[in-house]
Amino acid sequence: MVPPCFQTHDPGTFIRSFEPFGAAMNFPRLFAPLDLGHTTLPNRILMGSMHTGLEDKASDYDKLAAYFAERARGGVGLMVTGGIAPSIEGWLAPFGGRLTMPWHVARHRKLTRAVHAEGGKLCMQILHAGRYGYHPLSVAPSKIKSPITPFTPRALSSRGVERTIGDFVRCARLAQDAGYDGIEVMGSEGYLINQFLTARTNQRNDAWGGDAAKRMRFPVEIVRRTREAVGRDFIIIYRLSMLDLVENGQDWNEIVTLAKAIEAAGASIINTGIGWHEARVPTIVTSVPRAGFAWVTKKLKGEVSIPLITTNRINMPEVAEQILASGEADMVSMARPLLADPEWPRKAQAGRSERINTCIACNQACLDHVFQKRRASCLLNPRACHETELRIDPAPARKNIAVIGAGPAGLACASTLAERGHAVTLIDQASDIGGQFNYAKRIPGKEEFHETLRYFRHRLEDTGVTVKLGQTADAASLAGAGHDEVVIATGITPRRIHFPGSDDARVLSYLDVLAHNKPVGQRVAIIGAGGIGFDVAEFLVEHPPSATLDISRWTREWGVNMQLDTRGGLAPAKPETPAREVWLLQRSEGRPGARLNKTTGWVHRATLKAKRVNMLGSVNYERFDDQGLHITVDGKPQVLPVDNIIVCAGQEPNRALADTLTTAGIKTHIIGGADVAAELDAKRAIDQGTRLAATL
């Protein structure tokens, strides 16, 4: 049975499940202060460390200060910066952020001053990448290359280990000089400290390797010597890898022994780390169940007496409160949810959690950007990390503006225009807002998209947008309506394709399946292996309800051992039998899915592989008849004996209305899919809608 707060909120019932605005005690455990001895945190919400790309250049620290200040104003109890290297060897990438010299302190003071001015608290994360360093200077306990970087690290000498500990301590002292409230020692996700802790990456036979007791000396000495250097009145968070999710990772007894030693060495708080970056189990993407790893932190409760923070896929106050109420942790960490909505804590405390812009864990504008060496932002909140540049100021003059289309582009545009003071009418031909998000939310593992629609429903109401549903806008109806300007956000039409038999009734579009619930047979070919082709394949092979809603079922499918009695917490994966036999096809060469997003594409590919989906590239579509779909692959003919074909062959802009309005002399702007359908996603749609609205 899934606890109610883990279920996707039905828009109708969501509001009823919360106390009204201003209620006295909302989420009492989440908003209980946490006494750390020398200081008290106002609540149990940690904004976890998240690399934004602004840490790397001194010239970006004003922007970073504005980013943190906005979140401090939002009421978060404690924040942690993105990882800062304690040495050049410890860089994640060349010229990444580091705090190694006294003259680096000034830029960090900008952050601490901005946060303290808003009444917030900020810790700096010290991250040594070890063999994950994407540069030729990387070091590690042993000379063993990681599977995710091209550089083989140099093995640290014994003196090198001592020097590295000294680097951590010096970095912590400089952080103290910069005015931080504390530091976080990054001991998880497979970075240097984690590399010392397992025989997988530590094959030394000196005082720093050989057995578990020697392997753990490195982190314990870092914490002990740091505490000595910074004194008692400074927070030290230790991020402890509680579930490595890699072969030959730590076992549970080693983890408990390490936690106790870290407490004895002087840490104030232990934060949870889940999975090395090279792990083949997803840990934060949207198809991971909410709070899907809080049970790991709970296992450590009672073993140490300092507070424990849990993390991963916690995005709503009901989930956080339940974790604290059930004793799984003392505090919850959320990074991306505060990127999506800096006012998350204040809204929750005021009993307005239905107003939270909920992180959908898509990674599209945050982690994917970081991997592309671009500045992070948020698909739902393009202002994230652009606070000083993308400003939503009051409009100089109130205009009467119509927005046609209530998909992501139109929703973002209409609500931002109204927030700025314009009179806005939002028109959609459908009976509900959301556009294609109404199809996306039906995909197993994309249940979070419901939350975005719930958020926008409230935002339209709060900003006073007039919403007209079930009305098809046309030039005639718009011409005499007195609008100063019209924004066209009418989206796309699915691309139709033609080959002999393609007009057969058994050839469906993805809209037939996701919007019109047309029946689909047991054997199906999907034409087109883009984002929608993959999503439709997942929809067809999964037995509802989705495994995302059930932690035990999900861990079984992905091979996570909830008993924690194997090294790394791994178990043989037991994927469920697929609901259908599916072929996923593309014309281009190479493996389908190669163009999916960096941090999530591998999860989609692994999911379909586990469900035995046949993925083929270099396909020519010849004809469809009673035998099935006739194709040639590299010139060789094949017949796929399928009952149905589903076409997911991309999209074309739906902009006929824009063309007519422009001809009629009405001032028109075009956004989202109506503007450019190729490679359109919701990130671009929302960004374009928001940016246009900020300027009108």
Dihedral (Cα; 312, 28, 456, 12), 10-degree rounding:
110
Interface residue with ligand NAP among 648, 666, 686, 692 (CB under 6 A) is: 648
> With contact defined as beta carbons under 8 Å apart, do 131 and 191 qualify?
no
Q: Which single residue is written with the structure tokens 């590919």?
A: 605
The one segment of 160-168, 332-340, 438-446, 474-482 that binds ligand SF4 by CB under 6 A: 332-340
Note if 191 is an active site residue: yes
How are beta strands 636-640 and 628-633 bridged, if at all?
A: antiparallel
Which residue, among 105, 110, 116, 106, has the nearest Cα to 65 in the 3D structure?
110
| 679 touching ligand NAP, by CB under 6 A | yes
CB of 368 to ligand NAP, least distance (A): 9
Place of tokens 């530091």: 183
d(CA 9, CA 384): 25
CB 428 to ligand NAP: min, Å: 19
- Binding at 649: pick from ligand SF4, ligand NAP, ligand FAD, none (beta carbon under 5-8 Å per type): ligand NAP
Q: Where are the alpha helices (DSSP H) in 488-640?
A: 510-514, 531-541, 551-558, 598-610
Work out what residue 530 binds among ligand NAP, ligand SF4, ligand FAD, none; the CB cut-off runs from 5 to 8 Å by kind.
Answer: ligand NAP
Examine residue 680 and tell whether it contacts ligand NAP (CB under 6 A): yes
Q: Decide which of ligand NAP, ligand FAD, ligand SF4, none touches 648; Cβ closer than 5 to 8 Å per partner kind.
A: ligand NAP
User: Does 533 sit near ligand NAP (CB under 6 A)?
Assistant: yes
d(Cα 320, Cα 329) in Å, to the nearest integer?
10
Block residue for tokens 């509680």 = 242
Can residue 334 be called a binding residue for ligand SF4 (CB under 6 A)? no
- Near ligand NAP in 123-182, by CB under 6 A: none
With contacts defined by CB under 6 A, name the span among 29-37, 148-156, 329-337, 405-413 that binds ligand FAD: 405-413
Q: Which of residues 464-503 bind ligand NAP (CB under 6 A)?
A: 495, 497
Taking CB under 6 A as the criterion, which residues in 420-479 touch ligand FAD?
A: 427-430, 435-437, 439-440, 443, 472-473
Per-residue burial over 7-33, b if 16 or more Cβ lie within 10 Å, else e, is ebbebeebbeebeeeeeeebbebbbee
The three-state secondary structure class of 85 is strand
- C-alpha Rg value of the chain to the nearest Å: 26
Determine, following the binding rule CB under 6 A, whether residue 653 of this chain makes contact with ligand NAP. no
Ranges within 654-683 binding ligand FAD (CB under 6 A): 654, 657, 672-673, 680-683
Q: Which is nearer to ligand SF4, 82 or 90 (CB)?
A: 82
Stretch that binds ligand SF4, among 211-219, 377-385, 484-492, 651-659 (CB under 6 A): 377-385
Q: Which of 191, 238, 510, 621 is catalytic?
A: 191
Among the listed residues 259, 366, 489, 670, the single contact to ligand SF4 using CB under 6 A: 366
Please answer whether residues 648 and 510 qualify as being in contact, where contact means their C-beta atoms are separated by less than 8 angstroms. Answer: yes
- x/- string (CB under 6 A) for ligand FAD, residues 529-548? --xx--x-------------
On whether the CB atoms of residues 545 and 576 are closer than 8 A, the answer is: no
Is 452 a binding residue for ligand NAP by CB under 6 A? The answer is: no
Nearest to 405 by CA among 686, 99, 57: 686
Q: Which of 649, 657, 658, 693 binds ligand NAP (CB under 6 A)?
A: 649
Q: Is there a contact between 92 and 132 (Cβ–Cβ < 8 Å)?
A: yes
Site for ligand NAP contains 382 (CB under 6 A): no
Q: What is the CA 486 to chain-centroid distance, rounded? A: 33
| Residues with a known catalytic role | 191
